[in-house]
Chains A and B, each alone.
Chain A
Amino acid sequence: MSKVWTAIIIISIVFAIFCGNASNVTNSILENSQKAVDNIPNITGMLCFWSGIFKIFEGTSVVEKLADKMSVIIKKLFDKNSLSKEAEKYISLNIVSNILGVGNAATVNGIKAIKELSKYSKEGVASDNMTKFVLINTASIQIFPTSMISLRTLYGSANPAKIVIPIIVISVIALVGGLIMINILNKVMREE
């Protein structure tokens, strides 16, 4: 990520200077810093809210049962020798929130899950379980693509929900493809 970021910044600035619109750089930075900061209340509000709601949920017996139900799948996907009970719980909650499309709840549980997983990893290096978990989050399945449906409705689509089935089918295939790829890469790119 640090290479991607550095490359984007350098390419953009050099490009702007050569095209003679260097002032765009200054304006862009000014505008987007403000945009990012303006977003703080939204992020903070939603993360605090879902973190609070899930704190209630976490202590209940329902979560244990849910984690038990999902542990069959989770144990197949992850290396169980470096998977704590807590990690299993947060991974289940993260997956369920992703599927239901409650993104902020997924973030909250995702952060807790990766913290648990990192207890079994070398400092600064992603373990096999961590790479798999992050992959699942970058290729997640959503049953109700809510924002896309409402956006299509807003722009006057005749059939806003037409995309739902293709989206589910495609995201399942992409997830499976990504999982196969990460399993191969975990073997090729070792932890050293």
Chain B
Amino acid sequence: MNYLTSLVMPCMILVIILIGIKEKKDVYSLFISGAFEGLKMVYSIFPYIFGITIAVGLLRDTGVIDKIAEPFSNILYSFGVPSDIIPMLILRPLSGSASMAMAMEVFETSSPDSKAGNIVSIIMGSTETTLYSVAVLYSVVKVKKARGTIIAGLFADFIAITLSIVIVNKFF
């Protein structure tokens, strides 16, 4: 499985280049012009990534995240949710790296095969950084009114989180 997954990226690159050659494209100039577009993308999305990084940092470093987690921990515990996954749940929609760091903390304290470890792994795999993705994609086209996007995205995350907890409690 691990080797299989490590094959995806190299094969993708190889196949794309071979197809380009077969269709007699100027592979090199295309790559360069694409790389230039990539540079422009970074220019337009970086300020938004920057804004989120600062906000998530403040949330963690001032201890707000633990304060928010406190009242929930007892309620969630009665549903079979170990309380050490709560900070990860709160950070998940905002930041991939911050929620990954929280997941690693759970692995460190409980082990990946524990109940908390399994729940965390499945949630990390089946949800996305919803608010972050919305911010980045809409920023490119200067959309201010996202309408139902955030609610629907968080709703999908909520389904994934609930199912992860149920499945680990029932089948693991």
Contact = CB atoms under 8 A, between A and B. Distances in A.
Contacts of B16: 53-54, 56-57
B58 A9 contact: yes
A151 B103 contact: yes
Interface string B138-164: 101111111111111101110110011
Nearest to B20: A56
A73 to B, nearest CB: 18
Contact of A12 (B8, B64, B130, B167): B64
B156 A138 contact: yes
B46 to A, nearest CB: 7
Nearest to B53: A36
B13 to A, nearest CB: 6
A19 B153 contact: no
Nearest to B134: A134
B155 to A, nearest CB: 5
Contacts of B35: 48-49, 51-52, 55
Interface residues of A, number: 108
B73 interface: no
Interface string B15-44: 011011001010100111111111101100
B154 to A, nearest CB: 9
B8 A134 contact: no
A50 interface: yes
A157 B55 CA distance: 33
Contacts of B135: 1
Contact of A40 (B38, B42, B64): B42
Contact of A186 (B27, B122, B147): B147
B2 interface: yes
A78 B113 CA distance: 40
Given A40-B46, A134-B137, A148-B125, A51 B64 contact: no
A12 B30 CA distance: 46
B12 A29 contact: no
A134 to B, nearest CB: 5
Interface in A1-49: 1-2, 4-5, 8-9, 11-13, 15-16, 19, 21, 24-25, 27-29, 31-33, 35-37, 39-40, 43-44, 47-49
A105 to B, nearest CB: 8
A20 B34 CA distance: 50
Interface of B: 1-2, 4-6, 8-9, 12-13, 16-17, 19-20, 23, 25, 27, 30-39, 41-42, 45-46, 49-64, 67, 100, 103-104, 107-108, 111-113, 117-118, 121-122, 124-131, 133-138, 140-153, 155-157, 159-160, 163-164, 167-168, 171-172
Given A56-B17, A158-B113, 10 more contacts: A4-B131, A35-B57, A44-B39, A56-B16, A131-B148, A138-B153, A148-B124, A149-B5, A171-B126, A181-B152
20 contacts: A1-B150, A8-B56, A9-B55, A12-B58, A21-B62, A28-B57, A31-B61, A48-B35, A55-B34, A60-B19, A107-B41, A126-B149, A137-B128, A138-B130, A139-B153, A148-B124, A151-B100, A156-B112, A163-B121, A186-B148
